[in-house]
Each structure stands twice: as C-alpha cells, then as structure tokens.
Structure 1
Amino acid sequence: EWVKIAVNHIITNFYDGLTFDFESPLSVNDPRNDAYVMLVKETNKALKDIDEGFQISVCASWGPGLPLGIDGRAYDYKALADASDYLYVMQYDTRSQIFYDCTAAPNCPLSISKLGIEQYLALGIAPEKIIMGVPWYGYSYGCVDEGGGELLKCSEENNQIQTCHLKLVPFRGVECSDAAGSQIGYENIQKIINSSPDMHGYNITTDVRVGYYQKTKHFNYCYSPSNGPYPHVRQLWYDDPESLTAKSLYAKEKNLGGVGPYRFDYVHPGTDLGDALFETLRVFKEVNGYSRVAVQK
C-alpha cells in the first residue's frame, strides 16, 4: 500500500524519483533491516515498470561502521545498494558521536571521507553506485572552559585559543557530539569572515588557519548575540573550494558515480562564492565526462 501511494505521489507531482533517508538505529540482526531493503526494492521495481527513467537512491552514513554501524545504523548497505540506483553517502556530520577529546574539529576531513568510501567498496558495492555527499556548510562551536562549564568570554588571551573545548551534548548514548555546535552555510561563513567588528555581532579574532586535518580550515571569532549569553569565543570549522576539490578528485580516482552537496541553497548560483563551489563539482565532471549530482533531503 505504501509503495502504491508513493508511486502515485511521484507521478502526480512529476518527480523523477525518490530518495530514502531512514536514519534510526537498527542492529545487524534486526528484522527491520530486511523490511527496509524490501521496501526499497519494491518501490524501485514499481517505478521502473512504469518508466526505466525513474531513479531511486538511498542515503547512507559517511561509512558503514559495521558491525555496530555509525550512530547505531547497522543497515545492510550492500543489499540497499543492489535494490536502488544510487547510494548517497552523507559524508558530513561525522562527529555526531565523539568518543575521544570533546573538542571542535572538522566536519568531515578528507582522511575520514576516504575511510568511509573504502569501507563501502570493501562491502562489494559497485563504485558507480556511490554518490559522495559533501558539506557546503561548516560547524560553529561555542568554546567552554576545560571543565566543560562556562562559555569563554572574549578576551585577548581566550580569542587566540588553539583548542576549543565543547559543552557536553549527548547523542544516542555518547556524551559528546557535534550537537554542541550549529550549522552555518558557506555563504554565511564568508559573511562572518568579511564582517566588520560590529556587523551581526561578529568579530574575527584569528586568521583563518589550515587545520591539522587535510586542507580543512577553521578560525576563532568573538560572538556578541543580540539576545542571549555574553560575548564569547566560538570556533568555526568548514570546507571550502580547496578541500571540496580534493574530495571531487578522490571521487574521480575511485570511479564513483558522482558528487553531491548538502545543500545547494547554502550559496547563490551566479555569485563568486556560488560559482567557486559549483566549480568543485565540475572538476569531477570534466575528468569523467559526466557527473551525477544528488541532494540529500
């Protein structure tokens, strides 16, 4: 019944397909894993019976992380890939569960991106079925004292900190997570970098630094909210054209099906900032002669 309703909705609204984005935790032996695969398979068949041009994709965590699964999502990824046209690998929010130092760090550095893709390929998933999802946004974290309590007040000393300790915000049984921060789109990140001290309450306090992870950038800034806590130090980690190009080149090297950002609306096409990010997708297209671009959610 669900499949019939979904197919009718797709046809009625002239969509070209459907993306499954189920992210609840399931253990390896949970029978709902088989049910999920069957749902994807039946939906794909129903659409293909109408028109071979319809497309089904399935969102997957940045890496399989089996047998426990990333965030407890121990899905049958090989079967999901076989049942669909594409596996959209969401290579962002990799710090949803932080098991080591509770400090600010990159959203998804190239090394972690490679690790996730290699793990999917090791499952026997065809590379052309994998779409590498990349972040067109970064994370801004409020820095707290090492005891994890109070936000650091803006001061000459605090503004220059290298390590930004985070407030403990649990996620699925782990006490530290990227939920301590907030997502900021690439275009708005550049507004912060280029703002004057009194614009939007931002005041950059360090130069943009290349982090200890490959090509990933970060900087500190003093944030003076119009309503809320006192002016405090924040650290912002983000991807930019350099790091995104490196990921597109890696996707090309592994013969993946494409590269797709989360999200397109974090920049405006036709602007310098927008064109710079879209160019990172063309890198993949120019080398491979084609490009599949997918959007999560």
Structure 2
Amino acid sequence: MLDADKVSFNVPWSPNCKNERCFDFLTISQACDILFVASFDIPNDMRDGCVARSSAAYHHVLSGMSAYIKLGIDSRKLVMGVRWSGYDYTCQRFLGASSCELEMTAQSVPCSYSAARKIPYKEIVQRLPRSLTGRFWDDDQKAPYFVYLDGRTYHEVWYNDPESISMRSSILKKLKLRGIGVLAANNINYTGDARAAMQAEEMWNALCPP
C-alpha cells in the first residue's frame, strides 16, 4: 500500500518513449515521492512473426525498471506494478504450443496484447484443468501459458501465476526498489473455498522477494 501522505505518479513500463508516453521522467520523479511503474501490457517485438506472447516478459520488466534508474531516478522511489490477469489470444493459425499466429489488423498494430481478451486470474485457474495442454512454461518470457479449443478455434492464454510473479518480485532486491504493487487485486478468488484460499495466499506470498 502507498503512504497516504505521499505523492505518487503512474508511469509506463519504460521511460524510453514507449506507447507514445514521452515525458521528462527525471523531473517528474523529483516532484514526487513514488513512481508507480506499470510493468505490464508491454508490446512484444514481432520480428519473428505475429504470435501470442506474455504481455510482461521478465526481460522487458527488468530492462524497463533499469532504464528508470539509469536516468538518475532514485530506485527507492520506484514501485513495480504487476497484473493478476492474463490474455486470451484467438489463433488465426495454430502450429502448436507457443506458435499461435494472430491476425494483423489496424487495431492490433504493433501486434501485441491488444489482440487478446483480458481475463482475471480466478478465471484462468478454472480454465486450466480443462485445457488441451495443461500448464506450459516459456523460459525466455519466464511466463506460463496453456492452449484450449473453443469449437474449432484454438486459443492460447498467457498469464501470471505465483512462479512468474515471484521471479519478477526478485527484481525488487536486485535493483533495490521501493516495493511492488498489484493492479486489480480482486482478480483472484477470495471465497471460503479451501482451494481458492490457497491460490489467493500463493499469489500474495509471491509478491515477497525470495
């Protein structure tokens, strides 16, 4: 939780003029106590084709946070933001797991998470046992995903879970950041069900740097 008497400012995942948000972040940081870095919804490099990928690959998160520090911003002012949700991509052509090709449209250029439907973590854990593949892990993106079939259409879902969030929370100690924050904490299930309670606890515990 951010201190009530502090001034905070929300900034994009990288200060390098990404997503057309080009500001003097160093000057902004000097006028604020906290910069909340939205380390998610990061467009992917599609040089290898327009395919489904994580919207917050570990290397992107690390490079984005590091770039703010290289500007001269005090790392103790930086809070890394994470999402407790995932993206459901409709495959225009499916060549196998992690090879879900997406349709290039005017609305999804550059091809990215904007081509997908956002779904909360509590829905993801319900769908996962009924998927075609079960949980897969991509070591480059450091993120989990799975594939399911809707009629004759393949879908690939990329998301965050306790393992991927724990890896990202380790960046806190690595870069000596102020902390970590969650966007939409209601994306997990807080009912009295024992399994749901365990899943919620695992997600909260993952925010603590290992």
* TM norm structure 1: 0.63
- Residue 234 of structure 1 and its aligned partner are, at CA, apart by 0.3
1:206–1:177 CA distance, 2 compared to 1 (3 A) = same
- SS of 1:133's partner is strand
| Contact 2:69-2:75 at 8 Å conserved across structures | yes
- Residue 57 of structure 1 and its aligned partner are, at CA, apart by 1.1
- Residue 122 of structure 1 and its aligned partner are, at CA, apart by 0.3
Distance 2:30 2:77 in 1: 9
What number of residue pairs does the alignment pair up?
A: 203
- In the alignment, structure 2 segments of 5+ residues that lack a partner are 192-196
The within-5 A match list for 1:13-24 is none
- SS of 2:100's partner is coil
- Residue 90 of structure 1 and its aligned partner are, at CA, apart by 0.4
2:6 is matched with 55
Larger Rg: 1
- Residue 140 of structure 1 and its aligned partner are, at CA, apart by 0.8
2:205 aligns with one of 279, 284, 289? 279
| Contact 2:55-2:112 at 8 Å conserved across structures | no
1:207 is matched with 134
* TM norm structure 2: 0.87
- Residue 238 of structure 1 and its aligned partner are, at CA, apart by 1.0
* Alignment pair present for 1:180 and 2:107: no
Misfit runs of 4+, over 3 Å: 169-172
The within-5 A match list for 1:78-157 is 78-95=26-43, 99-100=46-47, 101-145=49-93
1:251–1:175 CA distance, 2 compared to 1 (3 A) = closer
RMSD of equivalent CA atoms: 2.2
| Contact 2:137-2:144 at 8 Å conserved across structures | yes
- SS of 2:10's partner is strand
- Residue 161 of structure 1 and its aligned partner are, at CA, apart by 4.4
| Contact 2:135-2:146 at 8 Å conserved across structures | yes
1:166–1:82 CA distance, 2 compared to 1 (3 A) = same
- In the alignment, structure 1 segments of 5+ residues that lack a partner are 1-15, 18-52, 146-151, 153-157, 196-203, 225-230, 288-297
Distance 1:170 1:238 in 2: 24
Distance 2:72 2:118 in 1: 33
- Residue 108 of structure 1 and its aligned partner are, at CA, apart by 0.8
* Alignment pair present for 1:255 and 2:160: no
Structure possessing the higher relative contact order (Cα contacts under 8 Å, 6 or more residues apart):
2
Higher strand share: 2
- SS of 1:233's partner is strand
2:101 is matched with 165
1:109–1:99 CA distance, 2 compared to 1 (3 A) = closer
